[in-house]
Amino acid sequence: MTQTASVAAVAEPTHQIPAIVQSLRARFDTGRTRDRRWREQQLDGILRFIAEREDEIREALAADLGKPAVEAFVAEFGFVRAETKHARKHLKAWMKPERVGTPLVLQPGKSLVHKDPLGVVLVISPWNYPFHLAMAPIVGAVAAGNCVLLKPSELAPHTSALLSRFLPHYMDETCVRVLEGGVEKTTELLKERFDHIFFTGSGRIGRIIMAAAAKHLTPVTLELGGKSPCVVDRTADLRTAARRIVWGKFSNAGQTCVAPDYVLVEREVHDGLLNHLVRTVREFYGDDPSLSPDFGRIINARHHQRLSKMLEGADGAGTAVAGGVANESEKYIAPTILRDVSPDAPVMQEEIFGPILPVLTVNDVGEAISFINQRDKPLALYLYTEHAPTQERVITETSSGGVSVNHVWLHLAVPELPFGGVGESGMGAYHGKRSFDVFTHHKAVLKKPALVDPQFMYPPYTEQKKKWLERLL
């Protein structure tokens, strides 16, 4: 193991948390973070961090998740780099007060929306994309002029230690702090007052975050997950659909909040799609995916055991037509495709978050829409069809955080598109300018001259004043 991967930063003691938060608040109160140059320096620091520590980042991700180098680049630090460059390019325009129209009755006057930083924000990041999902919110938070306290996941210890060790060398350590630790640290953190909490993780923990935030009326952004469906109709290009579904599902060993969770395929193309899916798994990962350098591992033994139970053949669990193999000592579960799965099977009751893909048959797209709408709203929905009216129907008649037509989760790579959930899959959205907006208070400002002071708004009210107001309002 490399020196970087094995490094363990000294975590701050739990009893120091109030002092850490207070120091960030005191720093924010100096006004330092409001300056555009400070914000640009933080974004530049993130870019230098990635450029100078790319090898260490990649090694930490490999140590935590067995993450292949290409996946580490595309879905982790490459994504953060693109987000940072986008924010750096547009920051001046985002910060500029926005002029809006002023009603005639309030003339003369000027109306503006000022972009104020919120203050001290808490970012709690998960283990599945431990660099990306820690740094992407920080990009928005510092671009908006906030102080940040990052709590990375203890389940990805190498990446957590890397962030704690190196981030202070590239960003203003008096305004951006990293706090390592487990549940105890998070519990203590949530007792403190923050100006915004940004959490990525499960719905169960999201409820705990929201309940704690309510004590201080702290606004929250919850990026959760859910069972994101794929719908494949009879007009779809089955080979292309299979290739994209397999790539989207089995990247990061299926441990992706927007991974396809299950497939609903029209009956007449069911067998054809299954054949393509099985063939694609072999093309991507070989006859023995455990030997493939392009297939990752499960984060820990607990999650491996949880996923293994889904493969034990419970009633309705279906039949594995690919994979179905698990090795606990290596935290390995083969890329698995299940057919003949019952809608009531355990694998269909919770987000899988692993390399298991159930395939279910529907008679038509209408049945697929009904199936989706009877369940919690997903973070993403994937539709494979060449029929434009079907595309519009599914987009219109279902509710999800986002939709990709004829592909998987690439919508999250478009900076101008919001990324976030709805209902059980989360609240709030970010990426691009919306990351800036999440951590910004849009303050209403009306400027009126003192020399012009119309009297019709003041008592005593007369019939003439009433007529003037009726004309102007």
Local structure of residue 11 (DSSP, 8 states): P
Which residue in the list 56, 257, 351, 424 is annotated as catalytic? 257
For 194-213, give the DSSP string: -SEEEEES-HHHHHHHHHHH
Extract the tokens encoding 410. 């690439």
Average pLDDT over residues 437-449: 97
Tell me what pLDDT residue 299 has: 95
* Sign of the C-alpha dihedral computed for residues 278, 280, 283 and 289 taken in this order: negative
Tell me what pLDDT residue 313 has: 61
Which of 194, 189, 299 minimizes the C-alpha distance to 254?
A: 299
Q: 20-34, 235-249, 259-273, 312-326: lowest mean pLDDT where?
A: 312-326
Round to whole Å and give the CA distance between 415 and 434.
9
Counted residue by residue, the chain has a size of 473
Round to whole Å and give the CA distance between 335 and 238.
19
Residues with Cβ < 8 Å from 98, sequence gap 6 or more? Answer: 112, 113, 115
Q: What domains are there in the chain, each with its CATH number?
A: 3-224 (3.40.605.10), 228-420 (3.40.309.10)
Is 257 noted as a catalytic residue in this protein? yes
Tell me what pLDDT residue 8 has: 43
Residues 11-56 have pLDDT tens digits of 677 889 999 999 999 999 999 999 999 999 999 999 999 999 999 9
Average pLDDT over residues 91-104: 96
Query: From residue 4, how far is each of 8, 12, 66, 165 by CA, in Å?
Result: 9, 20, 15, 10
User: Residue 267 — pLDDT band, cuts 50, 70, 90?
Assistant: very high
Is 175 noted as a catalytic residue in this protein? no
Tell me what pLDDT residue 232 has: 98
Tell me what pLDDT residue 316 has: 62
Which residue in the list 56, 180, 223, 351 is annotated as catalytic? 223
- Whether the Cβ atoms of residue 58 and residue 69 lie closer than 8 Å to each other: yes
pLDDT at 7 > cutoff 60:
no
Which of 353, 400, 352, 359 minimizes the C-alpha distance to 376?
A: 400
CA of residue 273 relative to chain centroid, distance: 29
State the amino acid at position 461 in one-letter form: Y
Question: Beta-carbon neighbour count of residue 305 at 10 Å?
Answer: 12
Round to whole Å and give the CA distance between 144 and 436.
5
Average pLDDT over residues 284-299: 96
Residues with Cβ < 8 Å from 243, sequence gap 6 or more? Answer: 276, 280
Extract the tokens encoding 262. 């299950």
Average pLDDT over residues 178-182: 95
- Whether the Cβ atoms of residue 141 and residue 86 lie closer than 8 Å to each other: no
Local structure of residue 244 (DSSP, 8 states): H
- Whether the Cβ atoms of residue 407 and residue 386 lie closer than 8 Å to each other: no
Mean of pLDDT over the chain: 94
Half-sphere exposure of 239 (CA within 13 A, CB side): 1
Average pLDDT over residues 321-329: 94
pLDDT at 105 > cutoff 90:
no
Average pLDDT over residues 150-165: 97
Query: From residue 297, how far is each of 161, 210, 314, 389 by CA, in Å?
Result: 20, 31, 24, 40
Tell me what pLDDT residue 12 has: 73
As to burial, measured by CB atoms within 10 angstroms (0-12 exposed, 13-18 middle, 19+ buried), residue 11 is middle
Tell me what pLDDT residue 59 has: 97
SS3 label, residue 179: coil
Average pLDDT over residues 450-465: 88
Half-sphere exposure of 216 (CA within 13 A, CB side): 15
Residues with Cβ < 8 Å from 45, sequence gap 6 or more? Answer: 170, 171, 172
Residues 206-223 have pLDDT tens digits of 999 999 999 999 999 999
